[in-house]
Structure 1
Amino acid sequence: MGAMTSTDEARQALETQQTVEITTTGRRSGEPRRIETWRYRAAGRYWLTGSPGARDWYANMLADPRFTLHLKNQDLAVRGRPVTDPDERARVFAEIVPTLDWAESLESWLAGSPLMEILFD
């Protein structure tokens, strides 16, 4: 896969692709774990989340925040930042959840959904 020459190019690529794949490191096995998921945009930044419930990818990133973000033409070494602050979670989810016609209530997302910011190092 091609290497990115700048964070701006990486962000531009991420902007055009909502469905992404990520590879985390298994918190118990130490093995790579690759899944398909959606990236979200809110507050001018990029996020990983999902409907309320436990997620292996989130638990893996809590143990090791480094992961690979796979886009169509490149693989990016990035880092996840877990968002646990209630005010920040409220701001981000208030922007994401109303755009999802299948989403449960905002309150259910605030109470039970993982939220990880994608950071470009």
Structure 2
Amino acid sequence: MALNDFESALNETNEIDLTTTGRVTGRETSRPVWFVRQDDKLYLLPVTGSRSQWYKNLLVTPTIGLYAGDAAYSTRGNPITNPDKVSQVIDDFRAKYGADDVAEYYSDPDVAVEVPLG
């Protein structure tokens, strides 16, 4: 599907599916993730930070698949390790999903991922 279809589908959900390629197995695995959209970028926050398996996979194979409803988009995820930028992403997650839920689900948010749209 086209990027426009994916972007439209983002407006209908607060959770998308993320597919990464296993760094050891080479197999694709998927999981639901929350996201924040800022202009032409999405930001993802690994639940266990840099210890998250999907984040470790992305470091080896940065090409990812994103799925919102029936719309799919393939792109590259760019790791964010700058503490100031990670803090901004965490603040954006708190604003969208609520500070209590972010504190409950994200145990060690020391990294984030930037995903370009387009």
Matched-pair identity in %:
24
Taking the aligned partners of 1:40 and 1:18, their CA distance within structure 2 comes to 9
**Structure exhibiting the larger radius of gyration computed from Cα positions:** 1
RMSD across aligned C-alpha pairs, in angstroms? 2.4
After TM superposition, the score normalised by the length of structure 2 is 0.77
Counterpart amino acid of residue 25 in structure 1 = T
Mapping 1:70-89, distance limit 5 Å: 70-89=67-86
Amino acid at match of 2:63: R
The answer for the alignment partner of 2:27 in structure 1 is 31
Unaligned runs of 5+ in 2: none
Q: Does 1:101 align with 2:91?
A: no
Higher mean C-alpha displacement, 7-16 vs 22-31: 7-16
- Deviation for aligned residue 1:78: 1.5
C-alpha displacement of 1:16:
2.2
Q: CA deviation at 1:69?
A: 0.5
Letter in 2 for 1:15: N
Superimposed CA distance per residue, residues 34-66 of structure 1 (whole angstroms, 9 cap, x where no aligned partner):
11222223x433211144442111111111110
Q: Superposition pairs for residues 105-120 of structure 1, below 5 Å?
A: 112-120=109-117
Partner SS state of residue 17, structure 1: coil
1:34 aligns to what SS in structure 2?
strand
Offset of 1:17 from its aligned partner?
A: 1.7
Matches within 5 A, 1:34-73: 34-41=30-37, 43-44=38-39, 45-53=41-49, 54-73=51-70
Q: Secondary structure at the match of 1:12?
A: helix
